[in-house]
Amino acid sequence: MGDRKAEILEQAQVLVQKAGYDCLRYQDIADELGVTRINIHHHFPHKEDLGNALLERIVADLRAGFDEISREPGSSWEKLDRFFDWGRQTVEQGNRVCPISAMQGDANVIPDGMQGRLRAAGEMELEFLGQLLEEGRERNEMAFSGEAASQAEMVLSAYKGALMYARLHGPQIYAHTIEQLKASLTP
């Protein structure tokens, strides 16, 4: 991927994290990069092309991050903390949310050609978190009732909700939510 294309995707992700997919405008990207809209259209003729490329980038980054966390030594708690750190970093960037959550929030306007990729990205997050929680329970490091997949849904929903709330209520709401999530998983 050329440098310009990567710059466009980077700026598109920032804009999606701040305002959602529906508010993503080629002119805003062009203004931020100091290029013309035609330059953006050259790389991504249609908004859906840009959206699909952005989802591919997000999924690749997530997969690499999940693989790294899975390979690293450490307790299940240390691995979960690395995952939660991504949210903390997002909160510290100011007025941003998880890019997948931002797109999921616009699911009713996301083109059909992107829906499958968006759904797969969310499923990948849930699968990773479910495996991590099950590993923690098997090691007697974590405790929870029910299936790990259901617990992953609850944890991920609270995590992402805290990212949204942090935009208006400050970063402490994210920190407090993570503390409560961890307390609920402690044996």
Cα–Cα distance for residue pair 45/131, rounded to 1 Å: 39
Model pLDDT, residue 94: 82
Contact (CB, 8 A) for 74 and 11: no
Q: What is the pTM of this model?
A: 0.91
Instruction: Categorize the per-residue pLDDT at 2 as very low, low, confident or very high, splitting at 50, 70 and 90.
Output: low
158-175 pLDDT, tens digit per residue, is: 999 999 999 999 999 999
| Helix ranges (DSSP H) in 111-187 | 112-138, 148-169, 172-185
- For the segment 71-98, the average pLDDT, to the nearest whole number, is 93
- 10 Å Cβ neighbour count for 73? 6
Number of domains in the chain: 1
Residue range of the domain that includes 71: 3-185
Mean pLDDT of 62-91: 95
Angstrom distance (rounded) from CA 69 to CA 57: 18
Averaged pLDDT for residues 96-111: 93
User: What pLDDT does 150 receive?
Assistant: 98
Report the pLDDT value the prediction gives residue 95, as an integer from 0 to 100. 82
CATH number, position 122: 1.10.357.10
